[in-house]
Amino acid sequence: MILLLMGIAGSGKGTQGKMLADQKGYHLVSMGDVVRMYVTGEQRKKMLAGGLLDDQEIIKIVDKVLVSLPDGEDVLLDGFPRTIPQAEWLLGQVKSGRLKLDSAFHLVASEEAVKARLMNRARIDDTEDSITKRFEEYRKSTEPLLKWLSDNGVNVHNIDGERSPETVNEDIVQILANS
C-alpha cells in the first residue's frame, strides 16, 4: 500500500513521514533524498543551476526505488507525485495491479506559518524569495494535482499542518484506522 504525503515545503511532510515510518513501519521515500541519491552528473548540474528534472526523469527514479523495495511493504511517498503526468503514471501502476494506492494526506499551511518554519530551519535555500517562488509553484502545480487525484478516485485528506506535529500525527493515524 502506498500513502502520499503532500504539501508545500515547511508544511510538515518530513516530520510526519518520519513519525509514521517509526510508528507503523512504513518505508519512507522522501523525494528530496532520493533525487539527490540518484541524479547523474548532468542532472545535478541542471538542478544546481535552478532547473527541475522533467517528469520522465523523476518517474524513472521513483520506479527504481519502488522496484528495490520488498513486495507488499507499505510505502510513504513524500514529494511524489508533483505533477499530473507523474500522477497519471502512478495511477497507471495502480490500475495495472502493480501498486495499491490508499490515500493522499495534504498538509495545509499558510504562507506565513511556512515562512516562519523555513526561516528557522536556516538552510541556504530557504530565503524569502525562494519561499515565495515555492508557493507560486505550489499554487500552479500542486493545487490542480490534488483536485485531479480526487477526481480520479484517490482519497485526499486535507489536514491542518499548522498545529503541533503530535496533533497532526493523531489525525493521520485516526484516518488510517478508519479506512
pLDDT tens string for the chain (179 positions)? 999 999 988 899 999 999 999 999 999 999 988 888 888 788 777 666 656 778 998 999 999 999 999 888 899 999 999 999 999 999 999 999 999 998 999 999 998 998 888 888 877 767 788 788 888 888 888 889 999 999 999 999 999 999 999 999 999 999 999 98
Give me the pLDDT at residue 48, please: 62
Give me the pLDDT at residue 28, please: 95
The neighbouring-strand residues paired with 158 are 106
- pTM confidence score: 0.90
**Amino acid in the structure at residue 87:** A
C-beta of residue 65 within 8 angstroms of C-beta of residue 29 = yes
Cα within 13 Å of Cα(158), Cβ side: 7
- CA 60 and chain centroid, separation: 16
Q: Show the cell assigned to 64.
A: 527504481
Strands (DSSP E) found in 31-127: 75-78, 101-108
Give me the pLDDT at residue 122, please: 75
Q: Distance between CA 174 and CA 54 in Å, rounded? A: 36
C-beta of residue 16 within 8 angstroms of C-beta of residue 169 = yes
Q: Distance between CA 79 and CA 4 in Å, rounded? A: 8
